[in-house]
Structures are given as structure tokens and as C-alpha cells.
Homo-oligomer: A and B are copies of this chain.
Amino acid sequence: MKVETRKEEIIKTSTILFQKKGYSAVTMRDIAKVMGIKAASLYNHIDSKQEILSNIIISLAEEFTDGMRVIMNSNDSSIDKLSSIVKLHVDITSRNTSGMASLNNDWMHLKEDLDYYLKLRLDYEDNIRQIIEQGILNDQLQDSNAEVMLFSMLSTLRSLYIWIPSKEDLNPLELAKNLNKVLLTGIIK
């Protein structure tokens, strides 16, 4: 029975507002109003608006990094690794759909943590690229443009947050299975 601290409540509320209008268009008074308090009261729990954004984005980015580390340390085949990445995205996005909006659209408003975030993202992409290139070498993947594969897969996975909320009937496991099929084998018969 996890008791949510007031700070966590503020971050959760902000996450939902940031998803709807983006970081810049949401004011501290907006956040306070939803919480039922005055804007100044927020500062009993957080240091700045920037801290809220940082918290949302960095914690998610680190979740991805942690998940990727496990995958890279496994002895799975390239294809199994890619499947695990799909599952990782579905899992994290299902649990924090709103936060994924900030991760995708508001990262450029980070100040102190911008460089750190960019490094995490770059490393993450490099890992997927490595898996794909390995898969081509091993003859598991088609020998076409690896960058296009990487881009297509990552685009789909990064957009999940837009799509998951409207498909609540589909459970994460089922979704991951379907996504895997489409991403790996395409749509043509």
C-alpha cells in the first residue's frame, strides 16, 4: 500500500497537464488549481517548475536505460533482443502514458539535465543500432538499410503513448505480440 507523497502527487498532476498542452503552456497556477491549492503552496514541496519536468523525463529515461542494460547483457538472439525492446516500450508506456508525452515532446525544455538526457538517448539508440547490425551479419535480418529499420521501429515505439490510451481493451502482452509481428514481418502477405 504505497502512500504517495505530496511531491509525487504534484508530479503526477503535472504529467497529465504537460501531456495535454506541453510544458511551456502549463502554468504553476494550472497545476495548483487541479491540486486544489494555490500556486505558491506548490513550493512547499518542489523547488521549481523545471524540477517537475526533470523528474518526469529523467526517471523515464533511466527506466529505459536500465531495461536496455538487461537486454544487452543477455545472450538472446538479435531478434529476441528486438522483441524484448518492444516489450520494454509497451511496459513502460502502459504504466506512464502521460510521462511519455513529455519525454518525446518537452525534453528540449530541460536545463541542467539536458546533456544527461541526450546522452542517455544517444546511447539507447546506439544499442538498438548495434543489435540490428548484428542481426544483419548473422543473417537473421534483411540486408537492407539498417538506419531505416532503426528509425521505423523507434518511431512506432516512441508513438505508443499516443495510441495506447485509446486502446485500453488491448492488454500489454497482446499488444506487444501484435507489434512484434508487424514490426518484424511487416504487413504484406
Q: Which residues of A does B touch, CB under 8 Å?
A: 20-22, 24-25, 79, 105-106, 108-109, 132, 135, 139-142, 144-145, 147-149, 151-156, 158-159, 162-163, 167, 175, 178-179, 181-189
**Which residues of chain B are within 8 angstroms of A140 by Cβ–Cβ distance?**
188-189
Question: Would you call B156 and A152 a contact (CB within 8 A)?
Answer: yes
Provide the bound-state CA to CA distance between A179 and B149, in Å: 8
Question: Would you call A183 and B187 a contact (CB within 8 A)?
Answer: yes
Provide the bound-state CA to CA distance between A147 and B162, in Å: 13
**Which residues of chain B are within 8 angstroms of A181 by Cβ–Cβ distance?**
142, 144, 148
**Which residues of chain B are within 8 angstroms of A21 by Cβ–Cβ distance?**
24, 108-109
**Which residues of chain B are within 8 angstroms of A162 by Cβ–Cβ distance?**
155
| Identical chains bound together, number | 2
Question: Would you call B148 and A182 a contact (CB within 8 A)?
Answer: yes
Question: Would you call B186 and A186 a contact (CB within 8 A)?
Answer: yes
> Nearest residue in B to A147 (C-beta to C-beta)?
B167
The 8 Å CB contact of A188, one of B20, B142, B159, is B142
Question: Would you call A187 and B149 a contact (CB within 8 A)?
Answer: yes
Known: A108-B21, A156-B151. A188 touches B178 (CB 8 A): no
Specify the main secondary structure of chain A where it touches its partner. helix
The 8 Å CB contact of A155, one of B132, B145, B159, is B159
Provide the bound-state CA to CA distance between A184 and B3, in Å: 47
**Which residues of chain B are within 8 angstroms of A151 by Cβ–Cβ distance?**
156, 159, 163
The 8 Å CB contact of A142, one of B141, B145, B187, is B187
Provide the bound-state CA to CA distance between A84 and B22, in Å: 33
Question: Would you call B182 and A185 a contact (CB within 8 A)?
Answer: no
Known: A148-B179, A152-B179. A185 touches B188 (CB 8 A): yes
Question: Would you call A152 and B182 a contact (CB within 8 A)?
Answer: yes
